[in-house]
Structure 1
Amino acid sequence: MILSFIRSKHFWLIIGVVAAGLFILIGGIIYIQASNDQISDQISTYNDVAVVPDEPGVKLPVIKLPETKNFRNATMIGLIYYNGKVYTQTDTEIAPERAKDLLGEKLGTAKGNIEGWDTQDENDIEFASTIHKADVYTVNGYDKDFRIMTLAEQNGMVSPAFYERLNDIFVRDGGDFFGRFNIKGNVVGARYQSYSEWNNSMDQYHPIKDMDLINTLVDQLYHANLLSREIVGDALGDFRNDDKYRRLIIQLSDGTEVNLKIIRNGYINYGFAEVYFIIDSEMFWKLWQVMQPI
């Protein structure tokens, strides 16, 4: 009886239905997996502002001291090697008269000897730098694993500079990044420059009086989506011009001034960090309209 049933049309009809169902199920699973694999590469635009799905995070690549004695010919970035990490010059500044308020514990002295570091023993690598010799300090109110500073005095002139470690870290959202800057709740002012004004080092700034707008921006930056520079790729285009680029300076109560690059197609970037921040498109355009060239 069983053999007769196997040979019947009903048996093969059932087998065909089951096989078709399995084919659809497997195909659906493959499609879903492929969609998940590609989601980090999806960028759509709305009114020329980037919109991206939530992402698990971005790993900011490690910066290593190069294995060469001609390092100064390879880069112009100011950096200090401290506690096994590389700290680079930043887009946060402070006026000389406020710098001593943030001066913390002395950590050591930058050596200005980066060219020959690879020929020295491990103990000599600490505080190797591309900058001239200068005392290195912690910064009051900030984690030394994130920010350190130098303070040089000559002929009564004080020259402060911050160095930050924004490499070899994992950031899940804007809060993981901007939370280190102590921006939220400490904004006291904001101003901006066009690309030409910034690029030509012009001492010309335009104040932003709407502090509600700036504080809303800060709130959104703390929850911003992230895109690595590698993913953004050519989407930025040639933005280094007055039509597509602004420099926003957010002034904080401790005297620090955080400089952000605002790019017209919806991206925000800081310093040399290999990551771009995406905020709400409506909020972005409100900010962009305020920062029109004068």
Structure 2
Amino acid sequence: MNFKDSYKKDNENIKPRKEVVLSLSNKMKSYNESRVRKKSKFNYKVAFSIVAALLIVSVLVFAKEKLEFNNMLANKDSNNIVENQSQENESSNSEYNKTNDNIKEEPIKKGIYVPKQQLGVIDPNVQACRVATLVYKGRIYTMGGTELSLEEGKALMDKKIGVTWDLINEIKDNGTSAGYVDLETLKDFASFGEGDEVYTVNGYDENFRLITYTKNEYGEFISLWECLNDFILADGSDVFGTMNIKNNIENATWETFNNWNYGTLDEKEVSIDDTLNNFIDSMYKGTPYSLEDEELRNELFNKESNYSSGEEYFEANEERQKFIFLKMKDGTKVEIRLFKEGYIYYSGLNFAFKIDEESFNNMWNKLTI
């Protein structure tokens, strides 16, 4: 399993033992030199999350400056509730409306502003975790928690819109005064690697998903990229709706926490019935909660330091986490993480969704060995 496949699985913070970090650093170095896929008995899914969280500098950060969105100012707080300011706008726009009677303003959506991500400048002498990144039209795309085979990916490739170029020099010495790379000045399709062909994705908005394709001496590679920032989040439909999940499932499977964590291929079939359909409906209606809330984050993602041994950590999470995989008719496969507390989580988004208790419990009880 390579770096890309491992990273996209999860991004929670878990405190590692020193020997884990050292071993993983060596594995990432080996990957960057060869780009050859290798198998290992290592705990990849948790371990790469550990490295991303604990290495000294991360090149991906959220923007802190104030950003304008649909005639409103969304402040730097990612939990800022964006309201419909119709009363405020009514007087200021009255003169405009007199001469534009046939033009109606679209209602402004109420929700939480998910801030735009930026690339932080790094010291070239400091080793940093290179998060898989694609920059297009000043926005950052990262590898999502959506699996896709080579054949299915090729079928989804639509219009070729460019080729990637390596932006490593930009994050070393071309930063703004705020310590960020100026994304707006970057030529499109900046990434950590050059020569990947970039395509739009059949059936999806390019503002949400793109595909890259590479063919070299090691084989052919497909990567699906997602932009899950710089938008208004009102409920789960703003995320799961863009994935075309509802009424589009070909099959569903699930697995336990430990099987997922160790990469054991032991997915069990889930019947597509009212229980699953009601669960998906609840996903679309789910209420988002920011994982910047430390109390919630600790409740959901228990850190290894909370336990006297690694065995206790895995045993505890085996009881309170499950994973369901929804494969769409177009081949995309979405991984949803379930927490016994009634939350669901999609990797790549710094939010968890609280969903209807009855629908959640029915689904949780259905996922039994």
TM-score (norm 1): 0.74
Q: Are the structure 2 counterparts of residues 77 and 248 from structure 1 closer, same or farther at C-alpha, using a change threshold of 3 Å?
A: farther
Say if 2:120 is the partner of 1:58: no
State the percentage of identical aligned residues.
30
Aligned equivalents of 2:156, 2:126: Cα separation in 1:
30
* 8 Å Cα contact 1:187-1:215 kept in structure 2: no
Tell me the equivalent position of 2:355: 279
Pick from 131, 152, 168 the counterpart of residue 77 of structure 1. 131
Aligned equivalents of 2:332, 2:231: Cα separation in 1:
23
* 8 Å Cα contact 2:212-2:223 kept in structure 1: yes
Runs of 4+ that moved beyond 6 A: none
SS in structure 2 opposite 1:242? helix
Aligned equivalents of 1:95, 1:141: Cα separation in 2:
17
Greater CA deviation, 67-76 or 142-151?
67-76
Tell me the equivalent position of 2:274: 212
Say if 2:264 is the partner of 1:202: yes
Tell me the equivalent position of 1:20: none
Q: Are the structure 2 counterparts of residues 242 and 76 from structure 1 closer, same or farther at C-alpha, using a change threshold of 3 Å?
A: farther
User: Given residue 161 of structure 2, which amino acid in structure 1 is its aligned partner?
Assistant: L
Tell me the equivalent position of 2:231: 169
- Gaps spanning 5+ residues in structure 1: where? 1-39, 41-55
Say if 2:151 is the partner of 1:100: no
Q: Are the structure 2 counterparts of residues 156 and 76 from structure 1 closer, same or farther at C-alpha, using a change threshold of 3 Å?
A: closer
* 8 Å Cα contact 1:174-1:226 kept in structure 2: yes
Q: Are the structure 2 counterparts of residues 58 and 197 from structure 1 closer, same or farther at C-alpha, using a change threshold of 3 Å?
A: same
1:130-169 correspondence to structure 2 within 5 Å:
130-131=192-193, 133-154=195-216, 157-169=219-231
- Gaps spanning 5+ residues in structure 2: where? 1-78, 80-109, 175-181, 304-313
* 8 Å Cα contact 2:120-2:171 kept in structure 1: no
Aligned length: 241
* 8 Å Cα contact 1:136-1:150 kept in structure 2: yes
Shift of 1:106: 1.3
Aligned equivalents of 2:366, 2:219: Cα separation in 1:
36
Say if 2:342 is the partner of 1:266: yes
Q: Are the structure 2 counterparts of residues 182 and 70 from structure 1 closer, same or farther at C-alpha, using a change threshold of 3 Å?
A: farther
Render the CA deviation track for 1:191-235: whole Å, top value 9, x for unaligned: 011111111122221110243322221111111111111233433
Shift of 1:77: 2.5
Pick from 55, 60, 67 the counterpart of residue 121 of structure 2. 67
Larger radius of gyration between Structure 1 and Structure 2:
1
SS in structure 2 opposite 1:230? coil
Q: Are the structure 2 counterparts of residues 248 and 112 from structure 1 closer, same or farther at C-alpha, using a change threshold of 3 Å?
A: farther
Q: Are the structure 2 counterparts of residues 257 and 151 from structure 1 closer, same or farther at C-alpha, using a change threshold of 3 Å?
A: same
* 8 Å Cα contact 2:251-2:272 kept in structure 1: no
TM-score (norm 2): 0.60
SS in structure 2 opposite 1:80? strand
User: Given residue 166 of structure 2, which amino acid in structure 1 is its aligned partner?
Assistant: G
Tell me the equivalent position of 2:325: 249
1:30-49 correspondence to structure 2 within 5 Å:
none
Aligned equivalents of 2:171, 2:262: Cα separation in 1:
34
* 8 Å Cα contact 1:149-1:161 kept in structure 2: yes
